[in-house]
Structure 1
Amino acid sequence: MLGRNEQAKPAAANAAGDGVAETVALDLIRSFLPEVAPAEAPPDSVDDALALADRLQRTYAPTLWPHVWRAWRKRWGLTAVLAVLETGLMRRGGQIETSGAQYLSGILGRNRRQAPAPEATLQAMRASRRAPGLALGRSGRGARS
């Protein structure tokens, strides 16, 4: 409880995002960028990745209000970059029928705590490409009925 003359201090904004390691994020971006934007050069730094995310957002979630995207980009950092990359992959793969802005909002918006982290989703997608049988669960071989 606060005393009579004390004021609650707002939580400090985490400018670095929510803790995605830079090396992991850049590795995931380099892995999936050729599928989403083959003409784009892979980013060498966080600043390059953020600039790339701005371009991808305009392509895959163009109806997202610019001030909302800027706020998410500032708040989530590399997580926002990975989220817009995931949105691009899902749109190009035909796996989402909603707008890219709506999908991106599900990852970074109010329900952020309920949505899986984009780095986890991208790592799972990469793992399923390397070992497709593992991603699908049990195959018919060796399973008892």
Structure 2
Amino acid sequence: MALLIFFNLIVSDGIEEWDRAMDNGSVTPEQIASANIHAYVGFAILGLALVRLLLRLLQGAPDAPPEEPPAFQRAAKLAHGAFYLLFFAMPVLGALKYYADVDVAGFLHAGPVKLVLWILIVVHIAAVPVHRILWKSNIMPRMTTGR
């Protein structure tokens, strides 16, 4: 899921080019194909988010490392909740723009919501050395396998 999210965040030129071409009324088949790839990856992310949410509801989430201070445990819960919200919001907003031409959805998808997702990703990755160095906990297995 992370690879698909990174793909769509980094390789978004095709959908942006399609959007500009739509404004000019001169969309090529290549632009449509490129935009479709972005959209289909978004649908895959949405499907995986549903599976992930179901598993989390059925199995629960792993406990926070005991070394982690309570304030950081609460922050982690908020961050994970925000991730789940974005896992659903990004594909839905993108689909509303692409399939229903809802401009505000496209603005939110490509602007502030995308920025929040990038910030969360950076903070999430930065948490690994903090856990390792400050609290001496090995958080990587939990992040990669859920254990």
Q: Place the TM-score, normalised by the shorter chain, in its bin.
A: under 0.3
Q: Which has the higher contact order (CA 8 A, sep 6+)?
A: 1
TM-score (norm: length of structure 1): 0.28
